[in-house]
Amino acid sequence: MSLISQSLALAPAYQPSPNNDITPPEPAGRTKRGIADSDKRWPDGVITVALDLRDEKSKALVVDAIREWAHHTPALRFNIVDGKTGDIRISDDEGLKGNWSAIGTQARHIDEDQPTMHLDRTDDSKKFRSTALHEFGHALGLLHEHQHPQNTLDWDRPQVYDYYTSDAFSEAMVREHILEPDNRPGLQITPYDPQSVMHYEIPAELRRNGQGIPKNTTLSAGDQQAIRRLYPPVNPT
C-alpha cells in the first residue's frame, strides 16, 4: 500500500455497484495539491467518532473495524460515541445511499449536521465489517489502491468499460476512477499492494492475465506499513 491523502471528487464504487463508495466532492477552493499528508492527515491526538447506526450489532462491527486500524495508529486516540456529533460521523441512514467517506480531514469541511461517512445497511455482517474497514481507511486519509501509480493491473479495458459503465457511471468516470493511476504530486506512496483493503475486488475477466483479485477483508502487511508511516508513533521526550 498505498496512496495516501488528498482525494477529490467522486471515487467510484466499492464493489459491485458503481454508485457506491462515492467521496463527497471537494469544497470549492480546496483543490490544491501537494503536501497531501499534512492536508488530509489528522493531527496527533483524540478524534471523536460518532456512530449513528441502527443497532448494537452494527455499532460493534464498526467499532471492531476501527480498532483494527487503531492498533496501528498509536498517535491517534478514537473517542467513540453514540449520536451524530463528532469529527468523523458514521451513519447508516436509509435516506442516503452507498458506501462512502470523506478522505481524512476533508471531514472538517462537511456540514456538522451531515455524516462524513455512510454505510449501507446489510444483514451480511462480514460484508458490513469489511466495508467499514475500507471506508475507515478513507477516513484516515487512504486512497484507492487499484489506482496506485505503480499498480500492475493489466486491465482488459473493453471488459472494464462493459462491467462498470452505467447510466450513473459514465465511461469517463470509469476512466478517471478505475483505470487511470493516481499520479497527483504530494501523495505518500508505499509499494503497490493487491492485498490492501483499499483495493477493489477485481473480477478475473477484467484482467488480461485472467487472475482476479479477491475482496480483501483484513488489513494487509502493506496497509499496516502505510498507516504507520502516515501516523508514526509519537516519540516520548
CB of 82 to Zn ion, least distance (A): 25
**Number of residues in contact with Zn ion under rule CB under 5 A:** 1
For residue 145, state whether it binds Zn ion (rule: CB under 5 A).
no
Residue type, 200: Y
Nearer to Zn ion, 21 or 39 (CB): 21
68 near Zn ion (CB under 5 A): no
Residues 195-234 that bind Zn ion (CB under 5 A): none
DSSP H or E segment with residue 135: helix 125-140
The nearer residue to Zn ion, 47 or 142, going by C-beta atoms, is: 142
Q: Which of 21, 68 has the CB closer to Zn ion?
A: 21
Interface of this chain with Zn ion, residues 146 to 165, rule: CB under 5 A:
none
Q: At what angle do helices 125-140 and 56-70 cross, to 10 degrees?
A: 50
CB of 135 to Zn ion, least distance (A): 7
182 binds Zn ion (CB under 5 A): no
Taking contact as CB under 5 A, which single stretch among the options 14-22, 33-41, 202-210, 211-219 is the one that binds Zn ion?
14-22
Nearer to Zn ion, 89 or 208 (CB): 89
Place of cell 501523495: 187
Answer for which of 21, 37, 182, 223 binds Zn ion (CB under 5 A) is: 21
Residue 57, CA distances (Å) to 54, 69, 79, 122, 123 in order = 8, 19, 19, 11, 10
Of the candidates 88, 86, 84, 122, which has an alpha carbon nearest to the alpha carbon of residue 102? 88
Cα Rg of the chain, angstroms: 17
The smaller minimum CB distance to Zn ion, of residues 190 and 216, is found at 216
Burial of 233 (0-12, 13-18, 19+ CB in 10 A): exposed
Q: Which residue of the chain is nearest Zn ion when measured via CB? A: 21
- Phi/psi at 22 (5° precision): -95, 125
d(C-alpha 89, C-alpha 110), whole Å: 10
Which stretches of the chain bind Zn ion, using CB under 5 A?
21
